[in-house]
Structure 1
Amino acid sequence: MVYLLLIIGFGLLIKGADYFIDGSSNIAALFRVPPLIVGLTIVAFGTGAPEATVSIIAALEGNADVTIGNIIGSNLLNMSLVVGITAAIFPLAVERPTIKKEIPFAFLATIVLLVAMSDRALEFTNENFITRSDGIILLLFFAIFLYYVIEAARNSREEPVGDDATDQTGGWGKNILITVGGLAAIVLGGYLVVESSTDIALRFGMSETLVGLTIVAIGSSLPELITSITAAMKQQSEIALGNIVGSSIFNLLFVLGIASIISPLPVNDKLFFDIFVLLVLTIVLFIFSLTHYKVKKYEGMALTVFYVIYLIYIIIRN
C-alpha cells in the first residue's frame, strides 16, 4: 500500500505542477507583474508548502533532526539538483535582480541561520539550539524579504493588458481555480511522497537526521523540482529560478522561524557541515548566474554531479 501511495503522490506532483505554472503565469499577465516576482512569491511559497507542513509537524512532535535536516537538505537539493536538472534540460536565463538581490539574500538567510545555530561557539553554552528568540529574528528577516518583493512588484508593473491578452490567458476565476487546484495537488502529492518514502526509509534502519537530509528533503523538494522543470520546458525560466531562490529563502526564514517558535530546536553537530556546503553552493550559483546571465547546460550537469557526490557522502557518514 505504501508503494501505491508513493506512485499516486508522484502523479499528483507532476500534473499539479503543470496546472500551477499555467495558472500562476496567467495571473502574472493579468496582474501585469513580471514572472520573476510570481516565481519569488506565489510559486515559491506554494511549492514550499510541503517543507512547511513536514517541518512544522516534526517540530510539534519534538523531532528537531527531521525539522532542521529537512530544511537544510531541501535547500541543498534546490541549489544543486533542482537548478542542475532544470538547467541541463533548458538553460536558465537569470535576470539582473536575481543576481544582485535574491541570490545574495538567500546567502544572507543561510548566514543568519548559521549564527542562530552556533550557541556553543558564540554564547559558550553546552548545546546548540535554534531558540524562540532566534525564530523571531528569522521571521523579521522574512518580513524584510516580503517588503522587498512587494516593492519590486509595485515598481515593475507593466502597461495594462488589453482584451486580447485577457482572451489569451483566460479570466480571473478560471486561472485562480487552476492555480489553487494545481497547488492543492502539489501539496497533497508532496505529503504522500514524504510520508510513504519516510516510512520505507525507516524500515531500512536509516537515522532520523539522514532521513531528514535525504528522503524527506528529496520528497518535499519534488514540487520545486517538478515545477521548475515544467516552467523551464514552457520557457518560463524566470519562474523556474525565482521559484528555487524564493523557496530557499522561504524555507530558511519562515519555516524554521515558525518551527522554532513552536518548539526550540536542538541542533545536531553534523548539520554544520551541511550548512557550510549550502553556503558554498549559493556562491557557486551566484558565479554561474554571472556568466552571460544564464545557468548553462554544462553548469547544470556539474551541479547535479555535485549533489550525487554529496548524497553518497552523507549516506556513508550516517
Structure 2
Amino acid sequence: MHEFFVNLPFLIILISFLAALWLLSKSADYLTENAIELSEILGVPEMIIGATIVSIGTTLPEFSTSLVAIANHATELALGNSLGSVMTNGGLILGISSLYGSIPVSKKSRLAVWSIIGGMLMIVLVLLPQLSAKSLILPSWLGIGFLIFLPLYLFRSFRTPKAPASPNLTVEKTPSSAKRSKHSTSQLIIKILVAALIVTFSSTILVQTVQVTAERFNVSATIISATIVALGTSLPELSTSVSAARKGYGSLAFGNLMGASLMNVFLVLGTAMAFSKPAITVPLQFLEFHLPLILITFAYIIIAIYNTKKFELTKKEGILFLFIYLVYLLINIFG
C-alpha cells in the first residue's frame, strides 16, 4: 500500500488522510459503544473490557505495522512503532482523556501499569550489559518470555472480579441494564470485531499517507517510526479513549490505554523480538532517551494514582502528561 501512495499527488494523499481520519473516528466510537453494552450484558466492569477486547482491537494497527516491518527487515521501524505508541498512549492520549474529567483507576489497571514498567525494565537490563559492544541487540528469548507472560495476564484479567471497594472504581451494572440491551452477546462481539477491522483498515491508510508525506519532507526513519507512525497507529486508542472519557466511562478509557500499551510491549514488541531475523538492533538513543522517558512517564502515572486515596487521575495530571509528551516530541524532532 505504501508504494500506491508514493507517486500520488499531495492533494489525493491529503483527501485520503481526511477520509481515513473520519472513518477511524466513527468506527472507534462504534466500537466503544458496543464494548460498553457488552460489559453491561456480561456484568463485567468496563475497565476489563477496555483492557482486553478494545485494547486488542485498537492495537491491531501497531501489530500489523510491525509484522510488515519485520518482513521487510525494517526492525528499527517495528521497535520505534511499539515504543513510540507506548509513549503516545501514556503521554498524549492519557493527557487528553484526563482533560474530560477525573479517571478512576482500579486495582487491575494498576497491575497493567506495573506490568508495563516491568517490561521496560527487563529491556533496559538486557541492553545495559551490551553498552561496550558495537551494537545493542534484543534477544529472541526475551520476546518469547513476553509472549508467555501475555496470556497469563489476560487470563487474570478475565477472572471474575470481586466487588469494588469504592463506587468510583467502576460503574456498577445491574440486571435491569442487561435486560435493556437490544443485542445478543454474539451480535455485539461480531460488531466489535467488524469495527476493529474498520479501525485497522482506516488507520493503515492514515499511517501510509502520513508516512509518505513525512518522507517527502525528508524526515528520518527513526523520527517517523517513533513519532508519526506511532501517533498514526495510536489514533484508534485516541478515538476510543477520548470517546469513553467524554461519555463518563473514564475507567474504560484508562483500561483501554493501559491494555493497548501492554499489548504494544508484550505482543507487538514481543513478537518482533521473538521472530525477527536478524535480531532487532537497538539504536543507542533508544536506551539513552526513549526507554528512560517511558519509565519516567509510567512511574509518574503510578505516583499520580497513589497520590490520593481516591485512586484516580485528574485534569492536573493530564496537563503534565501532555507536557511530558511535548518534550518527547520536541527532542525527537530537534534533538
Mapped contact 1:110–1:275 kept (Cα < 8 A): yes
| C-alpha spacing 1:50/1:212, structure 2 compared with 1 (3 Å) | same
Say whether residues 1:47 and 2:53 are aligned partners.
no
With over 3 angstroms needed to count, the CA separation of the structure-2 counterparts of 1:98 and 1:172, relative to structure 1, is closer
Cα 1:230/1:160, change in 2 over 3 Å = closer
Post-superposition Cα deviations, 1:234-282, rounded to whole Å, max 9, x if no partner, equal 2111110011111111111111111122212111111111111000000
Counterpart residue type for residue 272 of structure 2: A
Which residue in the other structure is 1:316 paired with? 334
> Does the 8 A contact of 1:113 with 1:252 survive in 2?
no
Q: Which residue in 2 is equivalent to 1:64?
A: 75
Aligned match of 1:21: 32
Q: Which runs of 5+ in 1 are unaligned?
A: none
For residue 156 of structure 1, report the CA deviation from its aligned partner.
Answer: 4.3
1:211 paired residue among 204, 212, 224: 224
Partner of 2:283: 268
Cα distance in structure 2, aligned partners of 1:61 and 1:190: 20
Q: Find 2:160's aligned residue among 151, 154, 158.
A: 154
- Segment of structure 1 superposing worse, 270-279 or 177-186: 177-186
> In structure 2, how many angstroms separate the alpha carbons of the residues matched to 1:296 and 1:82?
14
Please tell me whether the aligned partners of residues 108 and 157 of structure 2 are also in contact (alpha carbons under 8 angstroms). no
Q: Secondary structure at the match of 1:193?
A: helix
8 Å contact kept, 2:57–2:193: no
8 Å CA contact 1:119–1:127 kept in 2: the answer is no
Q: How many residues align?
A: 312
1:60–1:262 contact (8 Å) kept in structure 2: no
Partner of 2:94: 83
Residues 112 and 138 of structure 1 are in contact (CA less than 8 Å); yes or no, is this contact kept in structure 2? Answer: no
Residue type of the alignment partner of 2:305: S
Distance 1:206 1:113, change over 3 A: same
CA distance in 2, matches of 1:174, 1:248: 28
Counterpart CA distance in 1 for 2:280 and 2:74 is: 8
CA distance in 2, matches of 1:165, 1:145: 27
CA distance 1:174–1:141, shift in 2 (3 Å): closer
State the TM-score, normalized to the length of structure 1: 0.92
After TM superposition, the runs of 4+ consecutive aligned structure 1 residues lying more than 3 A away are 116-119, 155-164
Instruction: Give 1:114's aligned residue.
Output: 124
Does 2:313 match 1:298?
no
Change in CA separation of 1:77 and 1:164 when aligned onto 2, cut-off 3 Å: closer
Work out the percentage of aligned pairs sharing the same amino acid: 26
Aligned-residue Cα RMSD (Å) equals 2.0
SS at match of 1:129: strand
In structure 2, runs of 5+ residues without a counterpart are: 1-11, 165-171
What is the alpha-carbon distance in structure 2 between the residues aligned to residue 165 and residue 147 of structure 1?
24
Residue 258, structure 1, aligned to residue 271, structure 2:
yes
CA shift in 2, pair 1:16/1:156, >3 Å: farther
In 2, Cα distance between the equivalents of 1:256 and 1:179? Answer: 24
When residues 160 and 312 of structure 1 are mapped into structure 2, their CA distance, relative to the original with a 3 A threshold, is closer
Query: Residues 32 and 157 of structure 1 are in contact (CA less than 8 Å); yes or no, is this contact kept in structure 2?
Result: no
CA pair 169-301 structure 1, distance change in 2 beyond 3 A: farther
Confirm or deny that 1:245 pairs with 2:261: no
Match 1:284 to one of 280, 300, 312: 300
What is the CA distance between 1:17 and its match in structure 2?
Answer: 1.1
- C-alpha distance in 2 between matches for 1:167 and 1:174: 15
TM-score by length of structure 2 reads 0.87
Matched, 1:191 2:171: no
Report the equivalent of 1:132: 140
Which shows bigger deviation, 175-184 or 162-171? Answer: 162-171
More helix by share: 1
> In 2, distance between residues paired with 1:39 and 1:160?
16
The CA distance in 1 between the partners of 2:126 and 2:240, in whole Å, is 31
